[in-house]
Structure 1
Amino acid sequence: MQQTILPPWRSVLAVVAHPDDESFALGALLAAFADAGAVVSVLCLTRGEASTLHGVTGDLLELRAAELATAADVLGLGEVELLTHPDGRLAEVELQLLASEVSAVARRVHADGIIGFDLNGVTGHADHAHATAAAVAAAETLGLPVLGWTVPDRVADQLRHEHGAPFDGYPDAEIDLVVTVERTLQRKAAKCHQSQAVPGSVMWRRLELLGEREHLRWLRRSDPS
């Protein structure tokens, strides 16, 4: 049976690959955790330098770091750590190195659980899958549960049909949590990423298709007490 509420974690660590993943993908969920009283921290493994400036001028690295900080404030998040692994080539970085970095932050913030993308990467970007693999490897060491954000097959199919985007979802029977979310803060946070928030893009369309619900799978459950 699918759960309909988020776990009562008091400290949550979100592990993502790029600045804006915390908003466009996880934003409504992170805001929900924060609204429930959790301290929500973000570890972003790259600075998003392989992207482009979409109608915004300035230095991409500086802009994306500033956008992440502003979006985190909007979502009510706590600590944000931005690393410098290569954007677009994260899979080339040794998994255990990334896992050790995730573990260090998880220990520092006393995380009760970790959230990230699903192991399939969801959007077809290999960076997302590798970031989550590192999070799960760290969780194995720390004995922490891990939730993976995903989309239902029907939404992935629609995004592939409309945008040619390589989204990868799951049938309802393989989704563990379906939670109702409020997207006001998520949309506001996403707009903070001015260099990436392209009007009419697949990211905005995904929010429309999902409506007021987000979908998650358990990538690792808590160790028995």
Structure 2
Amino acid sequence: MSAVVAHPDDEPFGLGGLLGLLSDGVVPTTVLCFTHGEASTLHGSPGDLHTVREGELACAARELGVQRVELAGHPDGGLGDIPSYRLTAQVTRLIGEERPSHLLLFDTGGVTGHRDHQRATEAALLPARRAGVAVLNWTLPQEVADRLNAEFGTSFTGRDPAECRVVEPVPRQRQRRAIAFPQSRLRSTGWCPAASQSSDNPMLWRRLELLGDREYLRILE
């Protein structure tokens, strides 16, 4: 299984439950992340976000059992300005090297309303079709999206659960560790996975609360 995401926190925050579930099932996973996430307005850890979030991605991947992470250097917030062929070429190379049975992506439309999320998914769909690789689109049930938008003023898009494959139970232990290291581990490693983005992010924890032990996927053949 290979995942394609826009930002370092997309791996633990969005796909972390599913990646952890796959690792628990001894399914090899890889992640291609297009940006360093340096333009984020959340800055819960000291230091330059370009460097900080690179380290957070590596640590989160280890917690989730991801075997390989590739971090591209495209500008955060600027994936829409990158020629499509450059992004699709990176996904094509990943597919050729890893030979995944499936690609795991954010749903079409990006789920969160962030243009980079939408662009990352768009870049992966054509290479997947060409290679005959099935696509799993991570999404939210409409009710959860609506609750988050009402409570936090966000722009999540959801799906009717009837359109989705419900995956349950999804253990959250790996995901929660990837989001926020215990402080004892932080002191020994110097890095806290996703701490720069999770320490002041109540919307994240509310989303996980609403989802419980379920995740929702659209399957594109």
Same fold judged by TM-score > 0.5? yes
Q: Which amino acid aligns with 1:100?
A: A
The corresponding residue for 1:209 is: 210
Q: Deviations over 1:81-121 (max 9, x none)?
A: 00011111112212222111001012111211100100111
Between 1:103-112 and 1:79-88, the stretch displaced more is 103-112
Alignment partner of 2:8 out of 14, 19, 22: 19
Q: Which amino acid aligns with 1:133?
A: E
1:200 deviation in Å? 4.8
**C-alpha contact 1:123 1:168 (8 A) present in aligned 2:** yes
**TM-score for both structures, normalised by structure 1:** 0.89
Q: Which stretches of structure 1, 4 residues or longer, exceed 4 Å deviation after superposition? A: none
The corresponding residue for 2:145 is: 156
C-alpha separation between the residues in 1 aligned to 2:31 and 2:61? 8
Is 1:28 the equivalent of 2:17? yes
1:52 deviation in Å? 3.8
C-alpha separation between the residues in 2 aligned to 1:37 and 1:104? 24
SS of residue matched to 2:156: coil
Q: Deviations over 1:106-164 (max 9, x none)?
A: 21112111001001110110111110111111101211001000000000000011000
More helix by share: 2
The corresponding residue for 1:71 is: 60
The corresponding residue for 1:131 is: 120
The corresponding residue for 1:146 is: 135
CA RMSD of aligned residues (A): 1.2
**C-alpha contact 2:161 2:216 (8 A) present in aligned 1:** no
SS of residue matched to 1:55: coil
Is 1:196 the equivalent of 2:218? no
C-alpha separation between the residues in 2 aligned to 1:55 and 1:69? 17
C-alpha separation between the residues in 1 aligned to 2:126 and 2:17? 25
Is 1:187 the equivalent of 2:187? no
1:55 deviation in Å? 3.4
1:179 deviation in Å? 3.1
Aligned length: 209
C-alpha separation between the residues in 1 aligned to 2:19 and 2:156? 21
**C-alpha contact 1:122 1:168 (8 A) present in aligned 2:** yes
Q: Deviations over 1:36-71 (max 9, x none)?
A: 111100000011011145232112111100000000
SS of residue matched to 1:51: coil
**C-alpha contact 1:96 1:137 (8 A) present in aligned 2:** no
C-alpha separation between the residues in 1 aligned to 2:149 and 2:65? 32
> Structure 2 regions of 5+ residues with no counterpart?
181-192
**TM-score for both structures, normalised by structure 2:** 0.91
1:177 deviation in Å? 3.6
**C-alpha contact 1:159 1:206 (8 A) present in aligned 2:** yes
SS of residue matched to 1:148: strand
1:29 deviation in Å? 0.1
SS of residue matched to 2:151: helix
SS of residue matched to 1:195: helix
**C-alpha contact 1:16 1:131 (8 A) present in aligned 2:** yes
> Structure 1 regions of 5+ residues with no counterpart?
1-11
1:79 deviation in Å? 0.6
